[in-house]
Amino acid sequence: MRFLTIIMSLTAAASAADIRLRFEGGCKGGFAVCSNIAARTCCNGERGTQGTPSLGFVNMPHNAAVGGWQATRNGQICGALVASGNTGNGNNACLNPPAGGSRFAGGTWNPSSKKRYAVNEDILECTNSQVADALVLADGKKYNVKGMEEGLVTELYTMVWNGTVKEDVPEVYATFEALE
């Protein structure tokens, strides 16, 4: 019994809030992930990439507000809030840009004290930002980008975008493979 308790608390610690910058709409395809991201912290992809077609929010608390941002030129950390939602009674949410909208530059979440859809720019406003710490191919293979040289990160983004499978990822990335 004690053993089971320990396992369960380890599981709880591992399931921290993640924001996934998905490379296909509807939270499909490969993604870049900001693991264990704090509330009101914008998860951004690599600078200079085209943005992301959908945002996945995973392992969130119930009733968490979630938002998607597009960059503006006014120097705000996040930019403009263009889509928002709420995890309701679940722990996950997926945001797509508004019809005709372009891609997201980043996403944030924040616990909400209100039960229903109390989502607005104030609640989701960013006080901080972080970039993705790992990239995951459409086939599920995960690579940590911490300590990875800039050029390799850029190339790995390209490979996640174009649907490269793990067998075709160059050997140089082997040391960055996440153990899962």
Ligand X SMILES: *[C@@H]1O[C@H](CO)[C@@H](O)[C@H](O)[C@H]1NC(C)=O
Applying CB under 6 A, the span of 12-20, 63-71, 118-126, 151-159 interacting with ligand X comes to 151-159
Name the phi and psi angles at 32, rounded to 5: -105, 140
For ligand X, the closer CB: 100 or 151 = 151
Number of residues that bind ligand X (CB under 6 A): 5
What stretches of the chain show up as alpha helix (H) in DSSP? Answer: 2-14, 121-124, 150-161
Applying CB under 6 A, the span of 22-30, 80-88, 130-138, 153-161 interacting with ligand X comes to 153-161
Whether residue 67 contacts residue 109, with contact meaning beta carbons closer than 8 Å, is answered with yes
Applying CB under 6 A, the span of 2-10, 23-31, 76-84, 152-160 interacting with ligand X comes to 152-160
What is the rounded CA–CA span in Å between residue 174 and residue 166?
10
- Tokens representing residue 45 in the block: 């992809």
Can residue 158 be called a binding residue for ligand X (CB under 6 A)? Answer: yes
Can residue 155 be called a binding residue for ligand X (CB under 6 A)? Answer: yes
For ligand X, the closer CB: 45 or 67 = 45
Shortest Å, Cβ 154 to ligand X: 9
Of positions 52, 70, 112, 164, contacts ligand X by CB under 6 A: 164
Of positions 19, 34, 159, 169, contacts ligand X by CB under 6 A: 159
For ligand X, the closer CB: 121 or 150 = 150
Q: Residue 29 CB: number of other CB atoms within 10 A?
A: 18
What is the rounded CA–CA span in Å between residue 3 and residue 43?
35
Name the residue among 87, 86, 82, 119 with its Cα closest to residue 103: 82
Largest CA distance in the chain: 56
Can residue 162 be called a binding residue for ligand X (CB under 6 A)? Answer: yes
- Which stretches of the chain bind ligand X, using CB under 6 A? 155, 158-159, 162, 164
